[in-house]
Amino acid sequence: MHELTWGMPVIAYLFMAGLGAGALTTSASVLLRGGQSGKYFSIARYGAFIAPIPVALGSALLVFELGSFQAGHWFRFLNLYTVINLSPMSIGTWLLTIFLGISVLYAFTFLSKDACPGDKQDGLRRLAAWVGIPLGIGVAIYTGVLLGAMPARPFWNSPVLAMLFFLSALSTGVASIILVRALLHRKHASAQAEAHYHESGYILSATDTLLIGLELLAIFLFLMYAHLTIGSVREAATVILAGGELSVLFWFWVVVLGLLVPGIIELAILVPSIVYHRAYRSHRVIEILVPVVVLVGGFMLRYVVVIAGQITHPIGL
Amino acid sequence: MKAEAVKADRQAGISRRGFLGLCAAMGTGAALQLRSFKAIGKNNDKPGSWSRGEVIPSTCNMCVNRCGIQCHVVNGVLEKIDGDYHNPKTLGGTCAKGQAGIMTLYDPDRIKYPLIRAGARGEGKWRRASWEEAYEYVADNLDKIMDKYGPEGLLWSSSTDLTEIFFLKLGVFLGTPNFARHATLCLASRNVGYFGTMGGVPDSDLANAKYIIMFGANRLESFELPYNRDLISGIENGAKLVVVDPRMTVTAAKGTWVPIKPRTDMALTLALMHVLIKEDLYDKDFVDKLTVGFDALKEHVAQYSPEWAEKETDIPARTIVEMAREMAVAAPAVVVFPGRRSSWYTNDTQFRRTLPMLMALLGAFDVRGGNFVNAGKVKLGEFDWEMAPFDVAPCVDGFDEGPFPLAAHDDGGYVMRRDAIIDETGKYPVRGWMIYKQNPLAAVVDGNRTLKMMEKMDFICSIDVQPSQTAWMADIILPETTYLERLDPIWTTGGKVKFISIRQPVVKPQGEARTILDIIKGIAAAMDKRRTFDPPMSKVFDFTMEDYVDKQLAPLPIDRKTLARQGIWMPGQQKWKLGAYRRGEKDFRTPSGKIEFVSERFRRNGYDPMPVYEPPAEEAGRQRLVTGRYAWFTHSANQNNRWLNAIHPENDIWINPDVAREKGIKDGGYVMVRSRVGKVKIKAYVTPRIRPDTVFICHGFGTNSAGQTTLYGKGGADQVLMESKADVITNNQALHETWVDITKV
Amino acid sequence: MSKKLKTTQQSRRGFLKGVGAAAAAVGASATPVQAVAAITEPKKRYGMLIDTRRCVGCHACSVSCRSENNVPEGKHRSWVEYTEKGTFPNATLHFLPRLCNQCSDPQCVSVCPTNATHIRDDGIITVDADVCIGCKYCIHACPYDARFLNPETGAVDKCDFCLDRLEQGKEPACVATCFNRARIFGDLNDPDSTISRMVASNAVSVLRPGMGTLPNVFYIGLDYADEHDIRFPRQYIRVTTHRDENIRR
Ligand SMILES: Nc1nc2c(c(=O)[nH]1)N[C@H]1C(S)=C(S)[C@@H](COP(=O)(O)OP(=O)(O)OC[C@H]3O[C@@H](n4cnc5c(=O)[nH]c(N)nc54)[C@H](O)[C@@H]3O)O[C@H]1N2
Ligand SMILES: Nc1nc2c(c(=O)[nH]1)N[C@H]1C(S)=C(S)[C@@H](COP(=O)(O)OP(=O)(O)OC[C@H]3O[C@@H](n4cnc5c(=O)[nH]c(N)nc54)[C@H](O)[C@@H]3O)O[C@H]1N2
Ligand code: SF4
Ligand code: SF4
Ligand code: SF4
Ligand code: SF4
Ligand code: SF4
Ligand SMILES: [Mo]
């Protein structure tokens, strides 16, 4: 069995980088989608403030976990910036660094108390958003590619993994916005503002539900792919199947708790609006609970995948 | 200690390396990467500037093989041991133990100062003493015992080594007759069996053999140079290797494994002779010319048919017949390997006798690919001891007076001697024990009984390099320098090539460790203060090791300095030639001058003149315990060496899967092993590589010495389980005569 | 067999390249001396051949490596696996000494974000300990578990064919130490080297050829068991290494 050389910090980092990337991507896209009307401005604002924080924290964690840092060579990690090569980690490092810059800049445009659509910062904000979307997608995908690039780790070595991580990143990003929004939410004075709050909540939940559905699909594809090949990948996948070392963690925490539970709840709330065109309304408890389980599930997904990749290895001569 | 020194050196090396790296980088200015200067400055690509410092040739002492080594010393720190390419025995190789000599030298558990017991025996409380105090302490105690019981009240025990002579001489000059040496733990029965049959133990031309049969000898793990390498080459050259052993050793894995029922080897050898004679496959010419007693043998082995042997040995009769025929086809290029450790059974001397007999029937002696007698060693100068041995009392157990007429009396018999001392059945009491480079508490059957003997002792002194099990129970431990810190007497060896080699200090001693000669001198001087010897003891030992070595080298055209530079020396003329015996130019050193199928000497001394088989006792439901070693451990000496311990931190008991299933024992789970004399808790190793009626434990674990911090608390001691049995002809201890019960814990 | 073909092809290609380069150099009016150098000193490709028939699993190589390269306790550049199969009395025991394969297409190099891990001209893969940040990415990328983080340097470490010794014209420590001469080291691009001749004249194999890493460590008489064999219920198989107490695969 391989030593577990990538532990909690790396797991946390993958989760947090994904979350931040997801938050920025969501924020920027709703901002741009809202157009000049600034329909989803408040959502964008939450996302903008959230995005850089987990990414910065995660990156710091990662640096702390570097062997060089632990051996007392505090600044050796800067060697990452002396090279550009085709290593996913090298690409990721540069992406992440630019991402941090852009996301801070983007958040800055929202900083002013009376920031609003069409204000002085609007141009810059939109520019940052335009750049931020591909960057966010890049960072989100890269967390999956980082793991997926190695035939030596059959569990990770699946093209579906990048996709899964990308979806999960977006989903946790959205969830984080829902959560923060709900936590900071106070009853609005006007009914109109209240309605607006719920209306914009609708798009978040709908997006989230869609992402959850896609994630389930990706997991299905992942297993299908593993099942249909022979050899290492298939052997490796058995750790999350019934009887495998990580099967409970995976099926309960990731699939049931992290995907099915929030998916079903959200669907139950969404269905009336979609089918009967009722006004969308959600409870605060649910608005807090659902994103929390989504986040927990997202974290557990990283956990299971990172561990599974390390305890499985190629088979055969 | 080493690590720090190494680090410092590496750092020094790095900056030098850095400079070169920088030059290289500037030279290839087209480098595409944006490397910081710092990074380029420490490019690992140019490590050539790091040199290993001084290289000193010497001779390994991690086991008894004495391989040639080259020691790389940097700033007084031994960094690396390499094999010596010039050494014909090893050709530049070493084993894992040889590599780990560094860790024996720098072992944090090493004893660096004389230690005098400060608590109860074995409690582990020690007081550091100066050497002066230590010498006085030892002399005081020896003097007291000699006053009360005479010098024969002392037991003097040591294992074979180049330096053993000085320790032995002190005992001899003090006047004790009671020695207990290595042979009686190891190979006395093989020696007597071979001497009684053909006058000596022959070498084996393994590299050129066509058929090699080994009885239990585990040459590929229990190293004997150059046999292990030659064996591999022999196999590569197409030899058939047959290994008769109740467990599949590495040696057996490289050949055909014949999983014999333990203690029945003689049935197999007799049956092989039976087939060779019955099918007329033996070498008549050889038998006529070079043996006596063939007709008697023919008659004797007629009763030992393969069918009969099948029942005894568990080897199919067909296999036995095939073996005999294959041997006959390969003859005379057949090696019947004499083996080394024969401390197996109570009938070992007689079993060993059958091996040269089998060899003789095949005519497999004094020919290429067979057994041979080497051309002798290089003749070294004799050291003249000033004090001549004088009349001494008979041994405590009367060993020299009757019970073992064929045994080498100077070596003593450990088991008998111990009984005489504990049970006070000897001629007189023995109350003092001097121990040098031996770990009897581990090495002798029935460890608890050895502890009993210790209780009888007023004084125990152990001269060791580490807190061995025995040293831990002593009253004083005198730390000797390791082989890497001292000059030893010159070693000379024969075989296909004869040469001499030097063991010399490659680093300064750790702490206050001293050489055995210095220790003996110290004790001698302190004894002179208490007693009169003629000449005075300090005068007898008034020479340096350099003097001793110079005396040894005097007849040779090489001096100490030159030898120190080149490590070994070979005479230009090597006399390894075959055929002298066959041509009748040389006689066997037996009474008849021939190989004796029938030994009158044995008959005269009351033994069977021809080996007679007696079936072993069976104990249903129990397993026979056998022992041995792994390639990276020497007896009990280096299980505490961190590098070697890391290979195998804890020993285990080999159990056949069927037995394990029956007893509900899981691989890796713990079991309790009980014999009539002891019990041991140990991990189970469930493997198809052992017979169901046999279990195996690798020797050397289960230490009682908390001073061995790496080893303490790991594994189980095999000797604690073993009953006090010994070979009837030599009193060589018998390590495989014990049946054990195994239960899951 | 296919491996053998490959080797000769590669070396021929290497040779042609050398000639081509020389020709180009002459064309560019370089001095003839340089041209000669280019022809007579083709690129080296160091490799090792381990004859498992001669190996007795004695661990001398592992300990020698530890001593030579100051490998910290509990970490291994070189280790030996024991493979036990069968039932009594038809059991077998094989030995598999392991080290970095110095792959020609090494994934450890492709994933390294700092280029600390790189291929030298002579084919040896080394880690520049002063550049490596210890991200451990390469540890995962190596299909042979050949790498470890050296806690003393904070950098990843692995077998480098004993560069220090090579530069002084000495064989790698494990090769020199092996009593039984089970390990042969040399230049695979030199058709007259012992290793090239041995590789050409024996049935050799490499570990996990399917990984596409093109190892330069070859084995004769390789008997390797993997997870799959161990799960195969009809036969007893156990692989023991002393590399890590947890490794029993
Ligand atoms: N159960 C069991 N018993 C056995 C055996 C077995 O396989 N199993 N094997 C038997 C055989 S074949 C033999 S030969 C004997 C060997 O038995 P011993 O000769 O007692 O050999 P070791 O057990 O190696 O103990 C040697 C001691 O010498 C110490 N020593 C090492 N180097 C030096 C040195 O340079 N100077 C000094 N002063 N001390 C040193 C070591 O630390 C160790 O304590 O054991 C026999 N006993
Ligand atoms: N690595 C290493 N090498 C050494 C030593 C060391 O300590 N370590 N010590 C050296 C010394 S002093 C010695 S004496 C030699 C010892 O070397 P060997 O003479 O080869 O003795 P052992 O290694 O003890 O192996 C004894 C074998 O006999 C088998 N055996 C037990 N009972 C029977 C039986 O009834 N019949 C048969 N046919 N076989 C049986 C055991 O299973 C075991 O494999 O090794 C020398 N070389
Ligand atoms: S066999 Fe090993 S321990 Fe024994 S002398 Fe040779 S190198 Fe040293
Ligand atoms: S030193 Fe040689 S024989 Fe021993 S394990 Fe290593 S390769 Fe095998
Ligand atoms: S064996 Fe592993 S570490 Fe060595 S070169 Fe190949 S991929 Fe890299
Ligand atoms: S640990 Fe070092 S050598 Fe390995 S990928 Fe990271 S930087 Fe490169
Ligand atoms: S070549 Fe050197 S570094 Fe590599 S395994 Fe052998 S001794 Fe260790
Ligand atoms: Mo021995």
How confident is the model at residue B491, as a pLDDT?
Answer: 96
pLDDT the model gives residue A102? 97
Which residues are registered as beta bridge partners of B335? B212
DSSP string, A173-218: HHHHHHHHHHHH----SSHHHHHHHHHHHHHHHHHHHHHHHHHHHH
Structural tokens at position B103: 């860790």
pLDDT at B317: 98
Would the CB atoms of A79 and B33 count as touching at under 8 Å? no
Cα of C70 vs centre of ligand 7, distance in Å, is 11
The C-alpha atoms of residue B157 and residue B149 are separated, in whole angstroms, by 18
What mean pLDDT comes out for the span C169-175?
92
Exposed / middle / buried, residue A72 (Cβ in 10 Å: 0-12, 13-18, 19+): exposed
Rounded-to-10 torsion of CA B63, B67, B72, B78: 10
Q: Where in chain B is the domain with CATH 2.20.25.90?
A: 2-106
Cα separation, B163 vs B18, in Å, equals 47
Give the residue, B44 or B707, on which the prediction is more confident: B707
Mutation target vs C (from B38, B43, B44; most C CBs, 10 A cutoff): B44
- Band of pLDDT at residue C249, cut at 50, 70 and 90: very low
Nearest CA to ligand 6 atom 4: C138
Q: What is the per-residue pLDDT for B486?
A: 98
Predicted local confidence at residue C39, as pLDDT: 55
Kindly list the residues from chain A whose CB atom is less than 8 angstroms away from the CB atom of residue B34: 82-84
The range of the structural domain enclosing residue A111 comes to 8-311
Task: Decide if A215 is inside a domain.
Answer: yes
What residues in B contact A79, CB-CB < 8 Å?
36, 39
d(CA A47, CA A28) in angstroms, rounded, equals 8
Q: Which ligand is nearest to the CA of A68?
A: 6
Q: Kindly provide the ipTM of the predicted complex, given to two decimals.
A: 0.92
Poorest-pLDDT segment among A280-294, B217-231, C145-159: A280-294
Closest-approaching ligand to the CA atom of C127: 6
What would the mean pLDDT of B604-618 be, rounded to a whole number? Answer: 96
Rg of chain A over Cα atoms, rounded to whole angstroms, equals: 20
Instruction: Round to whole Å and give the CA distance between C45 and C105.
Output: 13
Closest ligand, as measured to the CA of B708? 1
Residue-range domain boundaries for chain C: 3-40, 46-102+160-240
- Asked, for residue A303, whether it belongs to a domain, the answer is yes
Contact B82, B96 (CB under 8 A): no
Residue given tokens 């309605």 in the structure block: A195
- Give residue A117's pLDDT: 86
Q: What is the mean pLDDT of residues A91-100?
A: 95
* CATH code, residues B201-372: 3.40.228.10
Contact B102 C64 (CB under 8 A): no
Q: Which residues of B touch C86 (CB under 8 A)?
A: 688
| pLDDT band for position B51 (cuts 50, 70, 90) | low
Tokens matching residue B586? 């040389």
pLDDT given at position C149: 95
**Residue range C88-137, pLDDT digits in tens:** 999 999 999 999 999 999 999 999 999 999 999 999 999 999 999 999 99
| pTM of the predicted protein model | 0.91
Question: What is the C-alpha to C-alpha distance for residues B703 and A261, in angstroms, rounded to an integer?
Answer: 59
HSE (side-chain half, CA atoms, 13 Å) at C164: 17
- B171: CA distance to ligand 8 center in Å? 23
How many domains does chain A divide into?
A: 1
pLDDT of the residue at B495: 85
Residue B359 pLDDT > 60, yes or no?
A: yes
Question: Phi/psi of residue A42, each to 5°?
Answer: -65, -35
State the architecture of C46-102+160-240 in CATH terms. Answer: 2-Layer Sandwich (3.30)
Confidence (pLDDT) at B480: 98
- Numbered ranges of CATH 3.40.228.10 in chain B: 201-372
- Let me know if residue A317 belongs to a domain: no
Q: What percent of chain B has pLDDT over 90?
A: 87
What residue of B is the nearest CA neighbor of C65? B99
Task: Kindly calculate the radius of gyration of chain C based on its CA atoms and give it in whole angstroms.
Answer: 19
- pLDDT higher than threshold 70 for residue B23: no
Phi-psi group of C37: left, alpha or beta (phi > 0 → left; psi -120 to 50 → alpha; rest → beta): alpha
Question: Which of B739 and B50 is assigned the larger pLDDT?
Answer: B739
Residue of C178, C179, C218 to mutate, ligand 4, most atoms within 8 A of C-beta:
C178
Q: Which residue has the higher pLDDT, B603 or B36?
A: B603
In short, whether C55's Cβ falls inside 6 Å of ligand 4 is yes
Q: Which two tokens stand for residue B191?
A: 């020696």
Flag whether pLDDT at A261 surpasses 70.
yes
Each residue of B283-319: pLDDT tens digit? 999 999 999 999 999 999 999 999 999 999 999 999 9
Helix (H, G, I), strand (E, B) or coil at B121: coil
C-alpha separations of C34 from B23, B26, B682 in Å:
20, 20, 68
Report the DSSP pairing between strands B476-479 and B115-117: antiparallel
Output A98 or C39, whichever has higher pLDDT: A98
Give A116's strand partners. Answer: none
Residues of chain B with CATH 2.40.40.20: 623-744
- Beta bridge partners, B81, equal B71
pLDDT at C224 over 80: no
Examine the pLDDT at B558 and tell me if it is beyond 90.
yes
- Which domain CATH number covers A162? 1.20.1630.10
**Is the model more confident about B505 or about C169?**
B505
Instruction: Work out the number of other CB atoms within 10 angstroms of the CB of residue B66.
Output: 22
Is the predicted pLDDT of residue B417 greater than 90, yes or no? yes
Question: Closest chain C residue to A94 measured between Cα atoms?
Answer: C113
- Read off the pLDDT band of A236 (50, 70, 90): confident
Indicate which residue's Cα is closest to atom 6 of ligand 6. Answer: C135
Residue B711 per-residue DSSP state: T
Q: Which one, of A26, A40, A29, lies nearest residue A196 by Cα?
A: A40
pLDDT of residue B221: 97
Check if C129 contacts A (Cβ < 8 Å). Answer: no
CB half-sphere exposure, B304, CA atoms < 13 A? 29
Distance CA B393, CA B176 (A): 7
Tell me: the pLDDT tens digits for A171-225? 999 999 999 998 987 777 678 888 888 888 888 899 999 999 999 999 999 999 8
* B63-77, B451-465, C26-40: the lowest-pLDDT one: C26-40
Q: Which CATH architecture has domain B115-186+388-499+506-560?
A: 3-Layer(aba) Sandwich (3.40)
Please state at what angle helix A191-228 crosses helix A159-184, rounded to 10 degrees.
160
pLDDT of residue A235: 83
Beta pairing partners, B258: B244
Higher local confidence (pLDDT), C244 or B739: B739
What architecture is domain B2-106?
Answer: Single Sheet (2.20)
What pLDDT was estimated at residue B563?
97
Rounded to 10 deg, the angle between the A8-34 and A191-228 helix axes is 130
Q: Are B303 and B151 in contact (CB under 8 A)?
A: no
